[in-house]
Amino acid sequence: MILFEDVSYSYSPGRYALEHVNLDIGGAELVAILGENGAGKTTLVKHINGLLKPQSGRVTVSGADTKNSTVAALARKVGLVFQNPDHQLFAETVEKELAFALVNFAMPPDEVSRRVDWAMKEFELTQYRDRPPFMLSGGERKRLALASVLCYDPQILILDEPTTGQDSRQKIRLASLLKRLNGEGKTVLVVTHDMEFVADFIPKVVMLSKGRVIAEGSAEEILTNRELLMGASLLPPQLAELSWDLALQRPTIDLEQVVSAASKLVGGSQR
């Protein structure tokens, strides 16, 4: 679905934002892109929707070289939800915001209204239909930004820091929505610093550091690798830290496993 072949990109000479990146993300995957500030996460994402084209190497999105595609054409396939909804929302009402892309894709009016109604219902925004987006709360604006992208049903969905300012209940809802979309066959990429969210809900991780992919694999394996996390200036998830503090033989990010290992330790020390 998304293929990076030896991709390099630099904004200023001598400093690579991406350096020889190889990445192969298959069909229906749910992947977290992790990395410290300036690791190249945003640069990577901008290559997928064609905002940036590789200076060397090649990026292919569902079979097509991005060098031969326009941003407009890629937008149909790749939906990008920004971290700050205020950078994305601009319409006079919630309804117009949701319809904007659909109208631009020249969908018939009844299809537009069907999709807009679906999105308002799915994201609990129906009551705000005629309200200006800037009148909504921060969390609601964040939901609207995501809804406006999901409306046109892109095959690939990229979310930049979707959990900032969200409480734990909303994070659980977001996670189950992402799982569902993924189950329906979509490719979902989550760019995030939120290690707890990744540890709890996202199965696969790509880790960037200083413009390079330094690890790729299961969240369980990568998020319990202390040296790797420290090398990338990332804080470990709490359960990994607890595993280390308890000196568990097999560190894990799975709550049930930590509970079971800890209760054995407690039982052992009582005997």
Partner 1 sequence: MAIIEVQGLSYSYPDSPKPNILDVNLTVDEGEFVLITGPSGCGKTTLCRCLNGLIPNSYGGAFSGRVVVDGLLTTEHPVYEIAQRLGLVFQNPENELFCTTVEREVAFGPENLALPRGEVRSRAEEALGVVGISHLWDKSPEEISGGEQQKVAIAALLAMKPRVLVLDEPTANLDPLSARSVLNILAKLNTESGVTIILVEHRLEMVAHMADRCAVLDDGKLLLIGEPDEVLYSEAVDRMGIGIPKAVKVAKRLSFGSKSGKKPLSSRDLADIIRGGKQ
Residues in the site for partner 1, rule: CB under 8 A? 36-37, 83, 137-139, 164-170, 193, 195-196, 233-235, 237-239, 241-242, 245-247, 255, 258-259, 262-263, 265-266, 269-270
Least separation in angstroms between residue 263's CB and partner 1 is 6
Q: Are 18 and 206 within 8 A, CB to CB?
A: no
Residue with Cβ nearer partner 1 (38 or 57): 38
* Cβ neighbours of 161 (radius 10 Å): 18
Q: Are 6 and 20 within 8 A, CB to CB?
A: yes
Residue with Cβ nearer partner 1 (106 or 247): 247
What gap in Å lies between CA 238 and CA 133, rounded to an integer? 36
Q: Which residues contact 10 (CB under 8 A, 6 or more apart)?
A: 16, 17, 18, 55
Residue with Cβ nearer partner 1 (150 or 242): 242
Least separation in angstroms between residue 270's CB and partner 1 is 7
Residue with Cβ nearer partner 1 (104 or 263): 263
Helix (H) or strand (E) holding 233: none
Least separation in angstroms between residue 248's CB and partner 1 is 10
Give the count of alpha carbons within 13 A of 155, CB side only. 15
Residue with Cβ nearer partner 1 (110 or 167): 167
- What single-letter amino acid sits at 198? V
What gap in Å lies between CA 30 and CA 213, rounded to an integer? 17
Residue with Cβ nearer partner 1 (112 or 195): 195
Least separation in angstroms between residue 233's CB and partner 1 is 6
Least separation in angstroms between residue 144's CB and partner 1 is 15
Least separation in angstroms between residue 237's CB and partner 1 is 8
Helix (H) or strand (E) holding 80: strand 78-81
Phi then psi for residue 265, to 5 deg, are -60, -45
- What single-letter amino acid sits at 268? G
Phi then psi for residue 146, to 5 deg, are -65, -45
